Structure 1
Amino acid sequence: MSVQGVHALVRRTHEARVLRVLREHGALSRGQIAIKVGLSRTTLSEITGDLLSRGAVVVVDTDAAKRAGSGRPAELLTLDPSSGQFLGVDLGHTRVRIAVADAAHDIIASGHAAYPAETGWEERVAAAFTLIDRVGARTGVSFRALQGVGVGVAGPRAAAPELAQPFGERFAAPVVVDNNTRFAGLAEAMTDGPDVHDVLYIRLADGIGGGLVVGGRLVAGASGLAGEFGHVTAQPGGEPCRCGKRGCLETVASIPAVLRSCTKGGLPTATIDEFESALSRGEPVAVRVLDEVAAAVGRVVASAAVVLDPAQIVIGGRLARGAPAFVRRVEEILAGELCPVGGARPAIRAARLGDDDGALGAIAALFRQSPLLDGYPEPAR
C-alpha cells in the first residue's frame, strides 16, 4: 500500500472513532472527544473540522452553563441527525428502493416506488430522483453532504457508466454501480458482524443471481458477472434458457420454472402463493418439485463451495422465506456433496433481510471502500 493510502486509512479510522464516540455519548466538546478517542488536540481539530464542513456533525451548544472558571466556552459537537452521508439505490425490474445512512452508518430514511417492467434506464433514474426528493421532504433528511452513492441494478453492470453520471452530477459525490443481487449478498454478510468474511449468496426469484464476499470484500469478477449462479448448468441438455444455453439452474429453480414444473405434474399453480399453499397441504407434486429444485440448487452451490470454501452460505428469495424445508433440503444435499475431509463445513441459512437488501448492500459497499479495498469497483465522479 502507498504511503498516501496508509495515511488515508489511518485518518478514516480516526474519523470512525470520533463518530462512534458522538453516537454513544451525544454532544461533546472537542476536548472531551480527544480524551475519549486518545487523539491529540491538533489531529482531533483537523478531523472535526472536516466532519463539520461535510455536514456530518454540527455545533449544538457550548459548555458555558456547566463551565467553572473563566475562559472561552467550548463548542459542543454532535452528529447531524438530518444529514444523509451515504445513499443506496436499488433500481429493480419493477421498483426503485432507497436507503439513507448518516455519518455513524445508521439508516435514517428509506422508501420505494413502483414503475412498469419495460421502463428504460433514463426513466428509472428519474423515478429514483423523484423518490429521493419525496423521502427528503417527508423526513427532513438532507442530501447536500453525501460522501457516496451506491446504485444497484438488475442484471450485469453494462449500465454502469450511464447510471453513474447522472447520480454523480446530481449529488457531486463518488458513485459505485453494481448488480443489486450482489449488493444484497454483501448486506446479508454484514448482518453477521465483522467476523464473517467469506460468504456465498444465492437468490431464487423470477431469475437467479448471487454474490461472493471474499475476505470481507464483494467480488465483481473480471466482467462483472461473479455470482451468476442462475446460468450454471444444472440439467445437461435440459430446458432452453434465455441466455442461449440449455439446462441452466434458472430453468429449474427460478419461480417461473417451479410453477411450470408443478403444472406439468398435474398441479396447476399460477403464483408462488399457490405453490406455498400446496406445500402446506402436503400436495405430493409440490413436495416433489421442491425436493428436485433443492437438489439442483444444492449441487450447484456445493460445486462453488468446494472451490471457494465459504464460511457461510446464504439462500435468499421467496422459496427460502416461504418454505423453510427448502433450506433444510439444500443443506442435506450439500452435506453429501462437499468434501468429507479438511475443516468445518459452511453454515447454511436463509436470508434475513427483506426487499430493501439491495439498497442496504449498496450502502454497505460504500462503507467498505478504503485504501485496503482499492479497486472494488473503481468509484466514478
Structure 2
Amino acid sequence: MNPPSAAAGSRRPAAWLGMDIGGTKVALRAETPGGEVRERVARWHGRGVAADMARLATEVGLLHREVPGGFAAVGIALPATVGPDDRVMVWPSRPEWIGLDVRCAMAELFPDTPLGWADDGDLAALAEAEATGCADVLYVGVGTGIGGGLASGAGPLPGLGRGSFELGHVVTDPDGPPCRCGRQGCLQSTASGPATLARASLLHGADVTYRRLREGLEHQEPWAVQAVDRTCHRIALAVTGVRELMHPGLVVVGGGFAAGLPGFVDMVAHHVHALARPGVPAPPVRASCRGGLTSLYGAVALARVLGRDPARTAALASRVPPG
C-alpha cells in the first residue's frame, strides 16, 4: 500500500521529505514548515531491487505515521548515474538497481507528489547554501573521490535531469595520472584521498596511512606538507575555473578526508586567493558546516525547492522547459 501524500486531503501541515539513498542504508528526514523534524535510518536487508523498494516503502510508511500531514514534496540524494530516460545506468554499490526507472518507482511510493533527485555533491551544495544563507555556493567534497556541486538561487546546477556537477572529472593536470573514467589528469585522480596518500607515500619513501599523513601534517614534516599542498593547489585550480565561469559567492570544502587534516581548507583558500586575477577577487573558502549530513539536508532543501515551484516540477517531470 502506498503511503499517503499531502494530496490525500490531510489538514495537518505537510512536510518536506528528504531521502539519502546509499549503498548500504537509507536515511529519511521530514521537516514541517513549523520546524518539527522526524528522522529514520534503515539498512538494506539482503540484495535485490524489489526487496529494497519494499524496505523503502515500509520506512516511508512508518515515518508518515509521525507526520500525519503527509509530504508536500520529496527530494532524493542518489549516488547512482541516472540516464535521460530516468533509468539507473551505473551504481557500483548497488548494481541490482541498474535498469530501474527511478521516477516510476518513486511515483509509486509518492503518488501526486512533486519529487526529484540529484547526486550527493549537487545536494551538498544546496544544503550548504541554505545553512550559510549564500545564494550561490560551490561545494567540493574530498574523500575516496572528489564530489562537487554548484547551487544557485534556483537550485542545483546544471539542473535536475541534466546530469551532475562533476567537478572531480575536470582535467587539472593533462600529464597527471590516469582516472578511472578513462581520461588522464582529472581532479579526482590527482586530489582525492587515495591520490593524496599515494603521493605522500612516494615522497616519504614508504607507505603512508591517513593517520600517518595527519601526524606528518601536524608536525609540518616536508613530505606531508608537500603532498597535501599539491592536492590543495589542484583543487584551487578547479575552483578558479568555476569562479571564472559562474562566480559563486562562497566555496565550501567538505568530505571526510579533508575534514580530518589540519589546515586543509586554509591551504585551499591560500591557493584560490593566489590564483585570483585583478578585478576578479577570489571567493571566500570555508569548511562544511553540515559534515556527513550534507546529502540528507540537501535532499530536504531540494524538496523545498520543488514544493515551492509546481511549474518547475512539472517541467522537470516532462523534460519540457517551463515557459
Q: State the 1:307 CA deviation.
A: 1.4
- Pick from 295, 314, 319: which aligns with 2:257? 319
Distance across 1 between alignment mates of 2:43 and 2:304: 27
Shift in alpha-carbon separation, 1:143–1:301, aligned structure 2, 3 A: farther
2:92 maps to which residue?
Answer: none
2:272 maps to which residue?
Answer: 334
Q: State the 1:165 CA deviation.
A: 2.0
Aligned partner letter, 1:243: C
Distance across 2 between alignment mates of 1:238 and 1:373: 45
1:153 maps to which residue?
Answer: 78
Shift in alpha-carbon separation, 1:212–1:107, aligned structure 2, 3 A: farther
SS class of match (1:54): coil
Distance across 2 between alignment mates of 1:234 and 1:376: 38
- Pick from 324, 327, 351: which aligns with 2:288? 351
2:97 maps to which residue?
Answer: none
Q: Is the 8 A contact 2:197 2:213 kept in 1?
A: yes
Alignment deviations for residues 72-101 of structure 1 (CA, whole Å, 9 cap, x no partner)? xxxxxxxxxxxx622111112443222111
SS class of match (2:224): helix
Q: Is the 8 A contact 2:10 2:68 kept in 1?
A: no
Alignment deviations for residues 192-227 of structure 1 (CA, whole Å, 9 cap, x no partner)? 22xx21111111111212111123432135873342
- Pick from 147, 152, 169: which aligns with 2:108? 169
- Pick from 110, 113, 123: which aligns with 2:39? 110
Aligned partner letter, 2:247: D
Aligned partner letter, 2:103: A
1:203 maps to which residue?
Answer: 141
Q: Is the 8 A contact 2:143 2:258 kept in 1?
A: no
- Say whether 1:85 aligns with 2:23: no
- Pick from 286, 303, 310: which aligns with 2:241? 303
Q: Is the 8 A contact 1:160 1:178 kept in 2?
A: no
Q: How does 1:63-102 map to 2 (within 5 A)?
A: 85-102=15-32
Q: State the 1:230 CA deviation.
A: 0.5
Distance across 1 between alignment mates of 2:290 and 2:19: 16
Note the aligned Cα RMSD (angstroms). Answer: 3.1
Aligned partner letter, 1:364: A
Higher alpha-carbon deviation: 175-184 or 288-297: 175-184
Shift in alpha-carbon separation, 1:302–1:110, aligned structure 2, 3 A: same
Shift in alpha-carbon separation, 1:146–1:223, aligned structure 2, 3 A: closer
Shift in alpha-carbon separation, 1:298–1:127, aligned structure 2, 3 A: farther
1:182 maps to which residue?
Answer: 122
Aligned partner letter, 1:260: A
Aligned partner letter, 2:276: L
2:207 maps to which residue?
Answer: 268
Structure of larger gyration radius? 1
Q: TM-score, normalised by structure 2?
A: 0.80
Shift in alpha-carbon separation, 1:276–1:119, aligned structure 2, 3 A: farther
Q: Is the 8 A contact 1:302 1:337 kept in 2?
A: yes
Shift in alpha-carbon separation, 1:52–1:94, aligned structure 2, 3 A: closer
1:6 maps to which residue?
Answer: none
Aligned partner letter, 1:169: E
Aligned partner letter, 1:109: R
SS class of match (1:352): coil
SS class of match (2:292): coil
Q: Is the 8 A contact 1:212 1:219 kept in 2?
A: yes
Aligned partner letter, 1:315: V
Gaps of 5+ in 2: 1-5, 88-100, 319-323
- Say whether 1:54 aligns with 2:10: yes
Distance across 2 between alignment mates of 1:107 and 1:203: 29
Distance across 2 between alignment mates of 1:198 and 1:267: 42
Shift in alpha-carbon separation, 1:289–1:120, aligned structure 2, 3 A: farther
Shift in alpha-carbon separation, 1:103–1:337, aligned structure 2, 3 A: same
Q: State the 1:149 CA deviation.
A: 1.5
Aligned partner letter, 2:38: A
Q: Is the 8 A contact 2:12 2:68 kept in 1?
A: no
Distance across 2 between alignment mates of 1:151 and 1:185: 14
Q: Is the 8 A contact 2:161 2:316 kept in 1?
A: no
Aligned partner letter, 1:85: A
Distance across 2 between alignment mates of 1:260 and 1:207: 13
Q: Is the 8 A contact 1:149 1:363 kept in 2?
A: yes
SS class of match (1:374): helix
Aligned partner letter, 2:132: D
Distance across 2 between alignment mates of 1:95 and 1:180: 14
Distance across 2 between alignment mates of 1:89 and 1:98: 5
Alignment deviations for residues 42-92 of structure 1 (CA, whole Å, 9 cap, x no partner)? xxxxxxxx99933424xxxxxxxxxxxxxxxxxxxxxxxxxx622111112
SS class of match (1:197): coil
1:245 maps to which residue?
Answer: 183
Shift in alpha-carbon separation, 1:348–1:129, aligned structure 2, 3 A: same
Alignment deviations for residues 244-267 of structure 1 (CA, whole Å, 9 cap, x no partner)? 101111111112212222222324
Distance across 1 between alignment mates of 2:154 and 2:291: 21
Q: State the 1:374 CA deviation.
A: 2.2
